[in-house]
Amino acid sequence: MKTHLNSKQWIALIICTAFCLLSADNVLSQEAKEQLTGHVFYGKMLIPNNDSDLGGSDYDVSIFGVDVQKPYGGGTFKYGLETGALFSMDSDVRSFSASSGSGGGTVAISVDVNSLLIDYFFGVYLGFEPAKWLRLNVGAGPLLIWGERETEPEPSVPEEFNSESESGFGAGLYARAGIDIFLTENFGLNAGARINETTLSFKDTTGKIDIEGWQYYFGIAFHF
């Protein structure tokens, strides 16, 4: 049986982790003199549609993100801390069957689904740089996430079905892998994949959706 930490336990874990990371940053920053590496990227997040009554495939959500990595040591292999944020605003149309009227019949309902997500993360990373122009790295750590979801029935839907809006805050973990290809000394291209698991979920007339899944992205990389 799979067990989950509740929100308070997640938040306590993240606060403790943040304290440890910040303490390490203060100690190690006196020795770190290497350039920071940043990324700006665009991608997609695939959120599973686990409700068999809800029409449509998995949710395909657009994301925009920024991050920065600070190395503390190593030559070809490097290690350090990373932090960043992901933002998402998305709109979709979903359909499902629902009971309507006193006769107990069912009708097909179509709704506009609008969502907003903000994800802040911080963790550790390991990098492999076999050449000045090539950089491979993996990272993992905790995250905090806030989201808002609104469902609005389309004009043809019976009046008994109303608009719904819900917002929430959650916590979780992420793991990711990426590649940087530098075209100049300080500028290049970036691509990567990331998976997360969070406590954030929404439940409305369209069913329940858990905000977790795979993310794929590409963008630019730069040293500063």
Query: pLDDT by residue (tens digit) across 133-151?
Result: 999 999 999 999 999 888 7
Identify whether 116 is part of a domain: yes
Identify whether 1 is part of a domain: no
Position 14 pLDDT exceeds 90: no
CATH code assigned at 93: 2.40.160.20
Identify whether 171 is part of a domain: yes
pLDDT band at 159 (very low <50, low <70, confident <90, very high): low
Position 37 pLDDT exceeds 70: yes
Q: How many domains does the chain have?
A: 1
Domain of 161, in residue numbers: 7-223
pTM, two decimals, is: 0.74
Residue 3: predicted pLDDT = 39
Query: pLDDT by residue (tens digit) across 67-121?
Result: 999 998 878 999 999 999 999 887 665 555 555 555 555 555 666 777 889 999 9
Q: What is the C-alpha separation between 187 and 25, in angstroms, rounded? A: 26
The whole-chain average pLDDT of the chain stands at 78
pLDDT band at 18 (very low <50, low <70, confident <90, very high): low
